[in-house]
A and B are shown apart, each in its own frame.
Chain A
Amino acid sequence: MGGKVTCTLGEVKNRADFIVYWGGNPAECHPRHFTKYALIPKGKFVPRGRKDRTMVLVDIRETKSARASDIFLQIKPGKDFEVLTILRALVKDQPVDRSQISETGLTIEQLQDMVERMKRAKFGVFFFGMGLSMTRGKHMNSAAILTLAAELNAYTKFVAMPMRGHGNVTGADVVMRWQTGYPFGINFSRGYPRFNPGEFTTIDLLVRGDADAALILGADPGATMPQPCIDHLARIPTIVLDPKVTHTSRLAKIHITTAVTGISAPGTAYRMDEVPLPLRPALQTSYPTDEQIIRRIYNAVASKPDWMIHNGKMTSAQI
């Protein structure tokens, strides 16, 4: 199985009567998600808003989001894949071993109740966070929840959506896909795009020390990446474009201060459901935009003759 059965957030607002957040804490990480899209709004087919919706939170600990839920399912850490697979089996009335259920931290009654509610929903949705997609099992966990959503469509309408964040990460993903065919982890060293997560992804390149320079745009890896990555970024010429001082800008060789996109620079951001939104600046600034700087760097590089290393010497080359 692969693919993704999803929708735009307006579909959730107007139709969803059964909402599951899995491995995420939207109350603190996506604070407008409940109120603008998923839980509170009155919708065309859920006219009473919150009262017409059931919300389930699946997580390993009781976060603030649990208070907003109708049902909180606390599972054991690292058992997301097992829970999802058991749910897939129960949806299809397949037998499940009791010992496997006890490993998950949930009871068969809780799981059966979940299955019945999912099937009974008119429009169900899974929102899954990094607690699912970045913990033990990683992309296998994402595949399991996406498969469960797809399979539930044999019974009712069901969709799934990752809870993406970090500024315009969805926009970067969308543009890379139309220009290269791939969303991230792309290597251009052979003159055409190649994709291999685990080999060409940023963390792997930095941990191995493969990168000999870094240009950081709209991100602060110095705050989030593993220590070996941070150490390597500090070793090589790292250039940071950011409106403010960040962990990464402190270890960079060069920090260029930029205008804040959406406040003093225009642009387009993609929402987590890939709906593009125009950004119109409210303020003026004397700082250049990211785009202006990248274009200037590009033009400066393009004006130099192409070169290659031949017999240990730099010589001009024809592309």
Chain B
Amino acid sequence: MRITGGKVYDPAHGLNGVVKDIFIKDGQVVDLPVDGRTIDARGMIIFPGGVDVHTHVAGGAVNFARAMTPEDHRRTTAFIRSQTTRSGIGGMTPTTFATGYLYAGMGWTTVNEAAVAPLSAKHTHDELRDIPIVDKSCCVLLANNEILLDLLQDGEYEQAQHLVAWYVWAAKAYGVKAVNPGGVAAWKWGKDTGQMTEPVVGYSKLTPAKIVSGLAQIIDKLGLPHPMHLHCNNLGAPGNLATTLETMRSLEGHRAHMAHLQYHAYGGNDWNSMRSEAPALAEYFNTHPNFTADAGAVLFGDTVTITADGPWQHLLYKLTGRKWGNIDVENETGCGIVPYTYRPNNLVNAVQWAVGLELLLLIDDPWRIYLTTDHPNGACFWRYPEIIKLLMCSDFRKECLSQLSTKALKRIHLAEINREYTLYEIAIIMSAGPARALGLPQKGQLGTGADADLVIYNEDDDVQQMFGHPRYVIKGGEVVIDEGEIRATPPGRGLLVKPSYDETIETFLRPKFEDYYTISFDNYPVEMERVEQPTFNNCIETP
């Protein structure tokens, strides 16, 4: 296939709207002209396919949320069965097939499911297999794993490292996620963590700070291509900037990916005095290149919040009085689900909306901050084009600011920011940057040897329209979307990594299973057959 005459935005190669032909053979970008179909892309814009570094699209928690929100399924977009597509439901928690169609329909071709409990990883992989078109990786939840916490408390870091590697491989994961380190373990007794340096409930010495730095160190030593994926303590709480900065300081010298940073950048003492601390957080972040982050931006409207952060969800249930789902997972983690509506006339929601955009605008290196909404927590992923418009048009931002109360405007900084993203920068935050953070060299770029995942837009001044309705989407060299029509639904790949560990860790773990779990050791690991088109990435050398 050849794509001729399009304006190519390929930030990994410094191409900023350069007219260039692209040649594709056997699913990869190649140097030399090839035969086959020619797409005339004159007047069009070409991006590498989008990469979502943090989303919740498959597994026990999302599926629990689906069960809890039939009222949303009924009012939302239905996907009718056709010769190329299976039926499904869109909305706040789209069904698996619809998830693939919606992501691809928007030009996203790789997604990272950010929270997998290893105990139910078989379920997650079975769902991922039913998400067509896009390539998929997932992160495994470990920061509240009691076996691991015991090792960290005892200072057994080497053993802990083997354990982490074993879990990553057993769950057929790609990275490690830490959610409210120690806090979810405390929630097993209905408690949360307080300070970073206070022992976790049920432990004598172990603190959240030690879990965070211990895990970061282990992940760097293992050389996982994606750094520790961290959901900090005190998510969503007024004044949590202090916790976030304390966490980041404890990570100096290590890599970390800060998930949904928006939820961790608040000042104030309570809900009434809550304010944006995005400038302070961005200032620290800008001078510490060991971090990457995704925005976790909020858009006004209905959604459902899904997180492993059980204690936070209990609070949200008490605040809203809406439905509350909770699953505590033996030995490992938990999850909570609460439907939520972000309203512009609500002070807290207005601050959250502004903080997400402020971080995206105040963090000066687009290679380190990525476009996400922590789907579906801040907003659904299919609303990304709205965020792109907010980033690219300061006039539109000002228009939106006029919906907010004067009280809210005093708590935020968005009105003072005039920066407008360029197309080149959008290509970085939606594709090139997250691909680099995930350590996926074949993604997020269009150089020779790259996976031929790309999206072609009709150039349009209305960027929301342009990014919401690509002219073509090409996945693995195949046209999957053509003018809004789904042309093909090839299966996506499962992206995996196999960190090395000492096999004797199994001798240590096997007897523990009797005590900590209710399923047998041999039934625990995810079988390779559950992963569709497994594709391995290598571990890296870290400084």
Contact = CB atoms under 8 A, between A and B. Distances in A.
Contacts of B123: 174, 270, 274, 276
Nearest to B87: A192
A156 interface: yes
Nearest to A273: B327
A232 interface: no
Given A4-B325, A10-B331, A15-B188, A274 B60 contact: yes
Category for how many chain B residues contact A:
35 or more
Given A150-B317, A181-B70, A10 B330 contact: yes
Given A153-B314, A191-B87, A8 B95 contact: no
B21 interface: no
A34 interface: no
Given A14-B516, A153-B314, A177-B63, A319 B83 contact: yes
Contacts, number: 154
B347 interface: no
Interface string A268-305: 10100011111000000000000000000000000000
Contacts of A195: 70, 73-74
Nearest to A279: B523
B88 interface: yes
A159 B328 contact: yes
B515 A44 contact: yes
Interface in A1-42: 1-11, 13-15, 36-37
A7 B329 contact: yes
A268 B317 contact: no
B80 interface: yes
A178 B327 contact: no
B328 A9 contact: no
Contacts of A180: 87-89, 95
Nearest to A149: B326
A179 B88 contact: yes
A268 B529 CA distance: 12
Contact of A8 (B81, B89, B324, B518): B518
Contacts of B122: 268, 276, 278
B120 A274 contact: yes
Interface string B45-84: 0000000000000101001101110100110001111110
A193 B518 contact: no
Interface string A113-153: 00000000011000000000000000000000000001001
B96 A179 contact: yes
B88 A11 contact: no
B519 A277 contact: yes
A200 interface: no
A190 interface: yes
Contact of B327 (A6, A156, A278): A6
B518 A36 contact: yes
Interface string B174-201: 0000000000000011100000000000
A8 B330 contact: yes
A146 to B, nearest CB: 9
Given A14-B516, A174-B63, A277-B523, A5 B330 contact: no
Most buried by A among B63, B130, B314, B323: B63
Nearest to B84: A319
Contacts of A277: 519, 523
B130 A178 contact: yes
Most buried by B among A2, A6, A13: A2
A264 B326 CA distance: 36
A3 B337 contact: yes
B223 to A, nearest CB: 30
Interface in A197-242: none
A177 B89 contact: no
Q: Which secondary structure characterizes the binding site on chain A?
A: mixed
B324 A122 contact: no
A181 B95 contact: yes
A5 B324 contact: yes
A191 to B, nearest CB: 4
B386 interface: no
Given A153-B190, A268-B122, A177 B518 contact: no
Contacts of A44: 146, 515-516
A9 B330 CA distance: 7
A105 interface: no
B273 to A, nearest CB: 25
B302 interface: no
Contacts of A262: none
A36 B398 CA distance: 61
A192 B89 contact: yes
A178 B324 contact: no
Contacts of A193: 73, 78, 87-89, 95
A183 interface: yes
B459 interface: no
B185 to A, nearest CB: 12
Given A10-B331, A179-B96, A156 B326 contact: no
A39 B96 CA distance: 38
Contact of B80 (A8, A9, A190, A276): A190
Interface in B321-374: 323-331, 334, 337-338
B127 interface: yes
Given A1-B323, A7-B328, A319 B82 contact: yes
A15 B329 CA distance: 12
Interface string B118-140: 01101100110010000000000
Contact of B328 (A11, A156, A194): A11
Contacts of A10: 330-331, 516-518
Contacts of B312: none
A5 B67 contact: no
24 contacts: A1-B324, A3-B323, A4-B325, A5-B324, A7-B328, A8-B330, A9-B330, A10-B518, A11-B330, A14-B330, A14-B515, A175-B126, A177-B67, A178-B58, A178-B96, A178-B126, A178-B130, A179-B96, A181-B93, A191-B87, A193-B78, A193-B87, A193-B89, A274-B327
Given A7-B326, A11-B188, A193-B73, 17 more contacts: A3-B324, A3-B337, A3-B338, A4-B64, A8-B329, A9-B330, A37-B518, A157-B188, A174-B123, A177-B63, A179-B86, A179-B96, A181-B66, A181-B95, A195-B73, A275-B120, A275-B518
